[in-house]
Amino acid sequence: METRKNRNNLLAGLAGLLGVIVIVSLIGLYAAKPEPLIIQGEVEAKEYRVSGKIPGRISEIFAEEGASVEKGDTLALIFSPELNAKLDQAKAARDAAQAQNRKAIKGARPEQIMGAFELWQKAEVGADIASKSYERVQRLFDKGVIPAQKRDEAEAQFKAAVATAKAAKSQYEMAMNGAEKEDREAALALVSRANGAVREVESYLDETCIIAPASGEVSEIFPEEGDLVGTGAPVMSITDLSQMWFTFSVREDLLKGMTTGTVVKVRIPALGEEEFEAKVTYMKAMASYATWRSTKVSGGFDAKSFEVKAVPVSAIKGMRPGMSVIIKTEAN
């Protein structure tokens, strides 16, 4: 009886020891199993900086931060009195050029034509009188009554009168025919240049309306109403929530199995424990400052970091730019 009792105690002790050994072994195996490495990234989205082409004062802002806008919506107005003054100047120059062009096309006024005609007729009369005087002097010279000098003077006066009559006739014909072709072309060119100046100022005035370049959400407004803004100064930022992706910085020894086109599992902590699929679309080595420096012990090396971008395979409800994204990978 005593022997059987001792045997049972021995078996119970062996069973207990075996159980302890199994438990310790399981704990050891679990402790030795490497924890998965976590690669953390961020949700990013396409962002537009809306700027003004002209300097001026913000007179009115029509959008608020967080508001949804559509492409073509008016976001703000810029008031620029200098541009209005330049437009008035350009229009005045255009009116003057158009008047000059009309004058070139129409030609001389009736009064100018009549004056040119009268001058021509007067010159013709003068030439006729000079011709008759020259003929009388010539006859007297032929008879030896007057010297050659008097004849030469009369001849010179006659030729001068004829030249004056021809010039007066040319002036009359110019008045009748209107401006020269080159003058008309020059006047037309001045009109074209003046019209171009007006269109240029009007195009700048169109820029006083800040228009949304794309649909999205107003993420930030920089100036307040009444603030002065310079040329190209940003007025708003618009985030296009239809174009979002994930960006990671991955050490090169963790890139195994991750190539362009690869589909990876990601988790967004802000959205719970659900995993989503994302397709890798971009991989590029980052600058030297992102290199993991090794101490060169036991064959270590300087590991570069790669910028990796991935897009969701399907739409993810509730995802917002700036949220953290996690990829779990096995340790090498």
**Domain contains 209:** no
Task: Indicate the pLDDT class of residue 266, thresholds 50, 70 and 90.
Answer: very high
In a domain, residue 177? The reply is no
The answer to whether the beta carbons of residues 313 and 277 sit under 8 Å apart is yes
At residue 26 the predicted structure's pLDDT band, cuts being 50, 70 and 90, is: low
| Residue 74 to residue 280: CA distance in whole angstroms | 37
Has residue 200 been placed in a domain? Answer: no
Q: Is the pLDDT higher at 64 or at 159?
A: 64
- State what percent of residues in the chain have pLDDT above 90: 26
Q: What is the pLDDT of residue 106?
A: 60
Q: What is the average pLDDT value for the chain, to the nearest integer?
A: 78
Counting Cβ atoms within 10 Å, is residue 214 exposed (0-12), middle (13-18) or buried (19+)? middle
Q: Are 60 and 223 in contact (CB under 8 A)?
A: no
Q: What's the rounded mean pLDDT across residues 102-110?
A: 60
Task: Please report whether residue 302 resides in a domain.
Answer: yes
Inside any domain, residue 286? yes
> pLDDT: is 286 or 269 the higher one?
269
In the predicted structure, residue 276 carries a pLDDT above the cut 50: yes
Question: For residue 32, what pLDDT is reported?
Answer: 45
Give me the long-range contacts of 300-306 (CB less than 8 A, separation at least 24).
303/251, 303/252, 303/253, 304/251, 304/252, 305/249, 305/250, 305/251, 305/252, 306/249, 306/250, 306/251, 306/252, 306/255
Residue 24: Cβ-neighbour burial (10 angstroms; 0-12, 13-18, 19+): exposed
Mean of the pLDDT values across residues 240-251?
A: 92
**Sign of torsion, CA 220 226 228 231?**
positive
Here the CATH number for the domain that contains residue 325 is: 2.40.30.170
Per the domain annotation, does 226 fall within a domain? no
Strands (E) located in the chain = 37-51, 56-61, 68-69, 74-79, 209-211, 216-221, 228-229, 234-251, 263-267, 275-285, 305-312, 324-329
Tell me the C-alpha distance between 169 and 179, whole Å.
16
Q: How confident is the model at residue 156, as a pLDDT?
A: 80
pTM of the full predicted structure?
0.55
- 70-103 pLDDT, tens digit per residue, is 999 999 998 887 777 777 787 787 777 777 766 6
Residue range of the domain that includes 248: 34-45+242-329
Q: 250 lies in a domain?
A: yes
Q: Would you give the distance in Å from CA 258 to the centre of its chain?
A: 37
- Is 11 a residue whose pLDDT tops 70? no
Number of domains in the chain: 1
In a domain, 312, yes or no: yes
Q: How far apart are alpha carbons 137 and 154 in whole angstroms?
A: 7
- Give whole-number Cα distances, 214 to 2, 52, 73, 219, 326, in Å: 93, 15, 9, 13, 30
* Buried b or exposed e, range 191-208, using 16+ CB within 10 angstroms: beebeebbeebeebbebb
